[in-house]
Amino acid sequence: AEMTSESPWAFVLTATGSIWAAGVTLLLLARGRSSPHLRSATGCALTIWLYSLSMVGDSLFSCRLGNLSQVTQIFDYLSAVFCFASWVWMAVLVMTRISALEASMGQPLGLQEVRWVIVVTAVTAALCVIFVLYSWSLVFVPLPLIYMLASAYGVTSVLYLIFTGLVIRAFCIPLRLLKEMHTAGYISKETWAAAVSLGQLQIGGLLASTTTTVLSGGSIIFGSSLQFAKLDESGRDMFTFVDFPLWLDIIANSTCVLFLTGAVHMPNAVLGNALARQRNRAAMLGSSGSVLDRQWHEKVSELAERGFTLESLLSFYKRLGTDYMLHYKSDVHRTSDVVRQAIIPLSRPSGVAYAVTMMNGACSLPDAMVTHNWGNLFRDLVAGICADALGLSEYALVSELLDRDVVALESMLANSGKIQKTYWVCAFCIAQHSCICHSISARDVDPVHGMEPPTCDCGWPKCFNDTPEVDALGRSVHCELNKFDDMMGHIARIDDQIEQLIVVDSKFDLFTRAWCVAEVAEAFRIGIPQKMKIKCGQVLHAFEERLRLLKVQEMEASRPEDVAEILAKIPDKDALNAQLQTLIFDENTGLLAQWRILDSTEQLRHFGLLARFQWLRGQRYQIPFDKICCHGYTF
């Protein structure tokens, strides 16, 4: 005990640092793991904790056994290794965030340079660690080693500051663009405030972490050079100055891991979307003021204002099979069947879009535009929309509830506060009597009784892609079928919060339909946030292969002229194919990733709803528990 170099102070300091790091790790373990990024952050926090624990062990044993005992040296090595590992991990986490931002913005933010700087920094930092460990094994540190330590530390610090600068630049690029958007009045005050606080958090946190890391690195070097002071009674107090920065570094880094990785994917994706919208806005605004253009835009805004509430959709659904389309069977009838045999007959007297009738004329701009394929079961389309309102990512359970207990579902939706959310679905929002009501094809044969539905004899004038009047590009001005991309752009301009809801059928056929893919690609291009609902996650892997082979050239549509027109709008088809793959599969921003990544609050809500579903099912239908679990929810 004569050899004690560290005061009890040092022990208390490292112990509090360790408790803090333990708290952060436990909190992340309890909260996180829902996304790869949060799992990685948890690992990083754990490493910081282990680093602090080995420091505690180190100061404990150096008090009891002296600095040069073997046990103390083992802890020396452990703390060096964990310190280095946690530092590298922190950098990797920062780079993951930049790469997510880069992916969602679709433009480089200097990730490549950041990567190089961090690799070089890691090499010089490793040199530092080796020198430090060597000096710890010595009773007296020679002057040349002190010089080498100091210079390795100097180079590492400068490199690390460059890294920090590059990262700050990466976060500032989107912030600057957003500021321009804000000044031009394109984004709301709230969106801008959210972006600013996100940027402040990221940059401030990074600066705090860098400062304390550089300080603590310095103090380790300083302390190692002071190794000789351990033999001197007066040198002992010096170690308080060494331990304090180390303590600060542990606190700062673990706190940064906690706050900076919180739900980092989602804000980044939102920012990226806003920026993409900014980039494409200029293109959308460029229209001349001719009479035909004006008429075209009037039609676009007329179409856009046909959103209907979820409540009205449910009341339509409840009467299906009892008040109209009496033979409706939810597990065989597709959206196209319901259009032919319920929506078209019901809207025949007025000739207008059925949404207008459903809403008693009080249609509005939608909160979400729904992309779906007409071959999907109509029940599953409705279930996908309800799942969106309930915040669920799969809709199999909702489909079941639609079959068994619409009233229960309705009360859940009413409780969720989303029953007044408005949607835009082509089946309801396009006036079918202005286009397809009179033409029946073999695909429209009813799957239950095998007969073609009767053609409509309403006699309303029909208007297709090339029906006069046409604009300079030969596009029909009054046609309701050729304006979906303009309409999306129009709504996105008016409403910052508009989102696209993609209801994928159980066989993933949606991704082979030209219209659907065109809508998905267009929403992506103009930066509308996209949400995807699939029926059941368990079957996803079975269709993944098929999705990976998607080619826009092989898409289908019921009207060949649509395919031609959609393909004509795509100058570089291979690029779009590649983009589609990114859109679906990208690890951070892809539709499937979104589906897999849920933040913790969403997860809790999810669990709550599932519990409620299961309770309802068990209560009312006495379905055994293992059957209820069949949809394989993975969290």
Interface positions with Zn ion (CB under 5 A): 426, 433, 437, 456, 458
Cβ nearer to Zn ion, comparing 441 with 601: 441
Assigned token pair, 295: 């008429």
Among 33, 81, 22, 516, residue whose Cα is nearest residue 263: 33
The secondary element (H helix, E strand) that includes residue 500 is strand 499-503
Between 127 and 458, name the residue whose CB sits nearer to Zn ion.
458
DSSP characters over 3-71: T--S-HHHHHHHHHHHHHHHHHHHHHHHH--SSHHHHHHHHHHHHHHHHHHHHHHHHHHHHHH-TTSHH
Given 3-state DSSP classes, what are the helix, strand and coil percentages for the chain, each rounded to the nearest 5? 70, 5, 25
- Report the residue number, 60 or 437, with the smaller CB distance to Zn ion: 437
Rounded to a whole number of angstroms, the minimum distance from the CB of residue 16 to Zn ion is 59
Read off the DSSP letter of residue 340: I
Nearer to Zn ion, 60 or 426 (CB): 426
The position carrying tokens 């949400």 is 531
Task: Pick the closer one to Zn ion by CB: 97 or 535.
Answer: 535
- Nearest approach in angstroms of CB 363 to Zn ion is 16
Q: Which is nearer to Zn ion, 165 or 454 (CB)?
A: 454
| Nearest to Zn ion of 55, 363 (CB atom) | 363
Which residue's CB is nearer to Zn ion, number 121 or number 357?
A: 357
Residue 327, both tokens: 């033979």
Phi, psi for 556 (deg, rounded to 5): -125, 160
Please identify which residue in the block is written with the tokens 């959609």.
566
Least distance from Zn ion to the Cβ atom of residue 522, Å? 13
| Minimum distance from residue 54 beta carbon to Zn ion (Å) | 59
CB of 434 to Zn ion, least distance (A): 8
Containing H/E element for 369?
strand 368-371
Q: Can you tell me the distance from the alpha carbon of 481 to that of 426, in angstroms, rounded to the nearest whole number?
A: 9
* Of 118 and 343, CB closest to Zn ion: 343
Which CB, 182 or 433, lies closer to Zn ion? 433
Minimum distance between the CB of residue 308 and Zn ion, rounded to whole angstroms?
Answer: 13
DSSP-derived secondary structure letter, 339: I
Tell me the residue type at 241: F
Whether cis (ω within 30° of 0) applies to the bond prior to 469 is yes
* 433/617 with CB nearer Zn ion: 433
Q: How far is the CB of 91 from Zn ion (least distance, A)?
A: 45
Shortest CB 385 distance to Zn ion, Å: 12
Q: Yes or no: say if 160 and 210 are a contact pair by the CB < 8 Å rule.
A: yes
To Zn ion, the closest distance from the beta carbon of 608 in angstroms equals 31
Going from the C-alpha of 28 to that of each of 148, 213, 599, the distances in angstroms are: 39, 22, 12
**Shortest approach of Zn ion to residue 478 CB, angstroms?**
16
Question: What backbone phi and psi angles, to 5 degrees, belong to 51?
Answer: -60, -45
Sheet of 368-371: strand order equals 308-309, 422-424, 368-371, 499-503, 530-533
Nearest approach in angstroms of CB 426 to Zn ion is 3
Dmax over CA atoms of the chain, in Å, equals 105
What residues contact 84, with CB distance under 8 A and at least 6 apart?
125, 126, 129
Structure tokens at 406: 């619409």
Least distance between Zn ion and beta carbon 381 (Å)? 9
* Residue with Cβ nearer Zn ion (24 or 503): 503
Beta bridge partners of 377: 334
Q: What Cα–Cα distance (Å) separates residue 139 from each residue in 133, 220, 543, 546?
A: 12, 16, 65, 66
